[in-house]
C-alpha cells in the first residue's frame, strides 16, 4: 500500500495562520508589532530568494520585517556593529543572519555576537547548549519543524528507533537531540557510517539530511517506517527542461511503496522552516516584552 504523504505545506500554512493570530494578540498586549531583522550580505541568488520569502512571510503574519542588505565586501567589523545595534534595538525581537556569509567573514563569530535571546535561528552556542542539557531555548527551525510533523503523525515517539542521517549543527545534531528528548532511541549516521542501509533498516523513523539526490533507497527502509526527507537537491535538467527537478535525499516513488508515511520534496519539510521561524520570532517577542507566550 502506498505511504501517506505528509503534507508539510498544509501543516505550515496552519501554523502560519496560528502565528498570525498570536502576532495580532501580541500587538494588542505590547502596543507594537513583533519584529524580525534579517541580515543579508552580498548577492548570492539563493540567499536573496530566501530573504525575500522570509520578508513576505513576516509581513503576512502581521509582524515587522527589518531587512538589512549589505554589500559583498562588508567588513567583519561593520557586520558585527550592525548585529550590536540590532541586539540593542527594542523594536527587534529576532535576528537572523542569512548564511552562508561571503568567505572573508567569520560565520561563527557573527552568530556568537547575536544576543541568544534574539537568536531565532537557534544557531548560537548558548541555544545549542540549552537544547543539549534540556533547557528552554531557541531550536533551529528545520529540525523543530520536522519534530512537529512527526509528533502530528505519530504522537508519542517513546521507544521508537530513529535514525538521523547527517550530523550538521543546523539539522542533524539538533534533530537527534529533539528525538532523544522525545524518548526515541536515536542513531546518528554520517559519511563514515559503515553499512548505512542496514542501519537505516532498523529505523521506525528515518530523517534524511544529507544533500544527495535520492540516495536513500526503498530497500533500505523497514516496512512501515515514517520518513522525513530534509534534503533539497536539484537534478540536472532533463531533455526539454530549463531547470532540473527538485528532489529529496530519499528515492520518493519506490520508498513510498515501503514506508507508511513520507514527506515529499518539495512541499514537505521546506515550508515548515519559515513557519517555525515566524513561531520562534513570536516566542522571542513575548519573552522580550515580559509577556507569557501562548501555546
Ligand atoms: P551538510 O552538508 O552540512 O551536512 C550533510 C551531512 O550529510 C553531513 O553530516 C555528512 O556527513 C552527511 N553525509 C554526506 N554524504 C553522506 C553519505 N554518503 N552517507 C551518509 N551521510 C552523508 O548539510 P545540511 O545539514 O545543512 O543540509 C542537509 C540537506 O538538507 C541539504 O540538502 C540541504 O539543502 C537541506 N536543507 C533543507 C532545509 C529545509 O528547509 N528543508 C534547511 C536546511 C537544509 P559528514 O559529517 O561525515 O561529512
- Predicted confidence at residue 83, as pLDDT, reads 98
CA distance 277 to 116: 15
Ligand 1 atom nearest residue 165's Cα: 21
Instruction: Give the residue from 10, 120, 118, 21 showing the smallest Cα distance to 61.
Output: 21
Q: Are 245 and 234 in contact (CB under 8 A)?
A: yes
How many angstroms separate the alpha carbon of residue 209 from the centre of ligand 1? 4
Relative to beta strand 233-234, strand 246-247 is antiparallel
- For the record, the C-alpha cell of 55 comes out as 520578508
CA distance 40 to 69: 5
- Predicted confidence at residue 65, as pLDDT, reads 98
Residue 48: active-site member: no
How many angstroms separate the alpha carbon of residue 108 from the centre of ligand 1? 18
Please state the pTM of the whole predicted model: 0.97
Q: What angle do CA 240, 246, 251 make, to 5 degrees?
A: 110
Residue 222: active-site member: no
Q: What angle do CA 206, 166, 137 make, to 5 degrees?
A: 90
Distances (CA, A) of 132 to 12, 84, 125, 164: 26, 26, 10, 16
pLDDT tens digits, one per residue of 219-271: 999 999 999 999 999 999 999 899 999 999 999 999 999 999 999 999 999 99
Under-70 pLDDT residues of the chain: none
User: What is the dotted CATH code of the domain comprising 32-120?
Assistant: 3.40.50.10860
Long-range contacts of 29-34 (CB under 8 A, 24+ apart): 29/289, 29/291, 30/285, 30/289, 30/291, 32/91, 33/62, 33/63, 33/64, 34/63, 34/64, 34/93, 34/94, 34/281, 34/282, 34/284, 34/285
- Predicted confidence at residue 80, as pLDDT, reads 98
Burial class (CB in 10 A: 0-12, 13-18, 19+), 87: middle
Residue 121: active-site member: yes
Q: Which fold has domain 141-271?
A: Rossmann fold (3.40.50)
Q: Which residues contact 115 (CB under 8 A, 6 or more apart)?
A: 87, 95
How many angstroms separate the alpha carbon of residue 292 from the centre of ligand 1? 36
CA distance 240 to 38: 37
- ipTM of the prediction: 0.99
Residues with CB under 6 A from ligand 1: 142, 165-168, 170-172, 189-193, 196, 209-212, 230-233, 269-270, 273
Domains 32-120 and 141-271 share a fold: yes
CA distance 217 to 253: 10
Distances (CA, A) of 253 to 53, 145, 182, 250: 29, 23, 29, 9
- Predicted confidence at residue 7, as pLDDT, reads 98
- Predicted confidence at residue 1, as pLDDT, reads 75
- Predicted confidence at residue 293, as pLDDT, reads 87
Query: In the chain, what are the domain boundaries?
Result: 32-120, 141-271
Amino acid at each position: 500500500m502506498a505511504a501517506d504523504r505528509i503534507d508539510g505545506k498544509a501543516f505550515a500554512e496552519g501554523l502560519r495562520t496560528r502565528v498570525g493570530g498570536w502576532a495580532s494578540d501580541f500587538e494588542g498586549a505590547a502596543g507594537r508589532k513583533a519584529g524580525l531583522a534579517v541580515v543579508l550580505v552580498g548577492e548570492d541568488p539563493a540567499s536573496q530568494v530566501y530573504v525575500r520569502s522570509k520578508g513576505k512571510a513576516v509581513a503576512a503574519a502581521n509582524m515587522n520585517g527589518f531587512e538589512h542588505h549589505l554589500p559583498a565586501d562588508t567588513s567583519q567589523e561593520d557586520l558585527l556593529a550592525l548585529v550590536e545595534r540590532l541586539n540593542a534595538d527594542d523594536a527587534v525581537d529576532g535576528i537572523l543572519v542569512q548564511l552562508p556569509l561571503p568567505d572573508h567573514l567569520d560565520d561563527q563569530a557573527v552568530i556568537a555576537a547575536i544576543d541568544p535571546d534574539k537568536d531565532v535561528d537557534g544557531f548560537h552556542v548558548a541555544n545549542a547548549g540549552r537544547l543539549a542539557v534540556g533547557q528552554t531555548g531557541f531550536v533551529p527551525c528545520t529540525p523543530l519543524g520536522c519534530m512537529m510533523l512527526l509528533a502530528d503523525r505519530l504522537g508519542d515517539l517513546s521507544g521508537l528507533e530513529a535514525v538521523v542521517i547527517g550530523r550538521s549543527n543546523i539539522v542533524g545534531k539538533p534533530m537527534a537531540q529533539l528525538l532523544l528528548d522525545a524518548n526515541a532511541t536515536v542513531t546518528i549516521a554520517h559519511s563514515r557510517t559503515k553499512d548505512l542501509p542496514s542501519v537505516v533498516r532498523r529505523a521506525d523513523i528515518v530523517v534524511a539530511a544529507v544533500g544527495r539526490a535520492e540516495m536513500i533507497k526503498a530497500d533500505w527502509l523497514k516496512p512501515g517506517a515514517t520518513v522525513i526527507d530534509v534534503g533539497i537537491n536539484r537534478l540536472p535538467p532533463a531533455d526539454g527542461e530549463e531547470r532540473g527537478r527538485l528532489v529529496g535525499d530519499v528515492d520518493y516513488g519506490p520508498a513510498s511503496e515501503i514506508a507508511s508515511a513520507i514527506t515529499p520534496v518539495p512541499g514537505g519539510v521546506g515550508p515548515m522552516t519559515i513557519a517555525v521561524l515566524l513561531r520562534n520570532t513570536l516566542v522571542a517577542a513575548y519573552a522580550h516584552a515580559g509577556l507569557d507566550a501562548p501555546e
